[in-house]
Amino acid sequence: MADWQEITGGITAPRGYQAAGITAGLKPSGLPDLALIFSEVEAIAAGVFTTSQVKAACVEYCRQRLQAKQSARAILCNAGQANAATGTQGYLDTLESALAVGQALNIPSESVLVASTGVIGQRIKMDALRSGIPKVVAALSETGSDAAAGAIITTDLVTKSIALETTISDRPVRIGGIAKGSGMIHPNMATMLAFVTCDAVVSPHLWQQMLARAADRSFNSITVDGDTSTNDSLIALANGQSRTPAIIEWGAEAEKLEAMLTAVCQHLAKAIARDGEGATCLIEVEVTGAHDELSARQIARTIAGSSLVKSAIFGRDPNWGRIAAAAGRAGVPFEQENLQIKLGDFLMLENGQPLQFDRAAASAYLKKAAAGAYLQQDTVLISVNVGNGYGVGKAWGCDLSYDYVKINAEYTT
């Protein structure tokens, strides 16, 4: 059993945080497009960002800020324009955004982190942003998580939010998070943004390590379409307002905090994968028997990201051969005669040998998942064993439907 419980409140569930989301006029649709997350005190800050060589201005800015100072008090996020591949002026726009937020909150601009999402090659609409910042600051609230979650999305069909609570040193500790992402999802860190808040007291070094490992086991283990974004950002704040003893070295309390952080990130990551553009179900791939966890995750990600596997799932076709082929090209050595493949409860391949199974029932299993409740009964489970090693890894993706092509063919038109 997990040593925590789900609570309400999202990113404002932890103590000492406020959030807001407003319509500033950045999106042509007129939907909410400017979000702000604010810690009432200086918070330890950590970040994991896209590894793309083409990085948005906000990514470069946040990297530099966190290298200089591992703390922050505010995160500003605009939706509508990615501000990626916008040159020097795009970076200056990001600097101006941070300065404006700092002035409005009466904090140093160095304590403001910035994220952007939207169309690549488009600068932020600065006139709209300038007028929107005082409004989003005025809207800050301890119940503002839902508004912020709604203001960061683009092609998402649903908002993504979670909050968990555990006990450390007999005091409650909470972690909350929101995320956006639906297409251009293949993190090497998806367009994917995630923001996490925590009220524990933790050293900067440990918090960054925890976040990096949590990202590997969540956001770096999902794929929708194989495309890594220019703007991928995962930013986490820990402000210490739980008043628990400081976690400054690895031990039982640090392990518990990291496990809960990973659970928050995995929930948000799965929500992103399930909301993949045009998707009808979530695909969860678990690989066992690999040499180590990294190898297992690599195989799992390759299967989850296979266009042929994803297309078969959409067609409700239990074509295990595509799963085997994807596992084989993952770049991880294993003996073919050890390979085992299951789709749900249907065992299809054992010791490298094909087995008879009820194809109609297996297809019905896929159809049932597509009709299941969102993030509850809508998951297709693929289990693959490759040997006798101790490595276990998971990855998440979604099926590939006709609507994915339609959505992305018309994205800027």
Strand partners, 290: 391
Q: What are the backbone angles phi and psi of residue 284, rounded to the nearest 5°?
A: -115, 125
pLDDT at 363 (0 to 100): 97
Helix (H) / strand (E) element for 321: namely helix 320-328
Stretch 116-127: mean pLDDT? 93
Q: What are phi and psi of 227, to 5 degrees?
A: -105, 125
Cβ contacts of residue 340 below 8 Å, gap of 6+? Answer: 347, 349, 350, 351, 383, 384, 385
Q: Among residues of the chain, what percentage have pLDDT more than 70?
A: 95
Q: For the full predicted model, state whether its pTM sits above 0.85.
A: yes
Instruction: Please report, in angstroms and rounded to a whole number, the separation of the first and last CA atoms in the chain.
Output: 48
Question: 80 pLDDT band (50/70/90 cuts)?
Answer: very high
- Residue burial 133-166, b: 16+ Cβ < 10 Å; e: rest: beebbebbeeebbbbbbbbbbbbbeebbbbbbbb
pLDDT average, residue stretch 365-375: 89
**CA–CA distance, 267 with 282 (Å, rounded to integer):** 12
The reported pLDDT for the residue numbered 189 is: 46
- Which positions are annotated as active-site residues? 191
- In the prediction, which pLDDT does 140 show? 98
pLDDT digits 0-9 by tens, 214-255: 999 999 888 766 656 677 899 999 999 999 999 999 999 999
Q: Label residue 185 by pLDDT band (50, 70, 90).
A: low
323 contacts 356 by C-beta, under 8 angstroms? no
- Higher pLDDT among residues 362 and 402, named by residue: 362
Interval 263-288: pLDDT, tens: 999 999 999 888 777 789 999 999 99
Q: What is the Cα–Cα distance from 260 to 313, expressed in whole angstroms?
A: 31
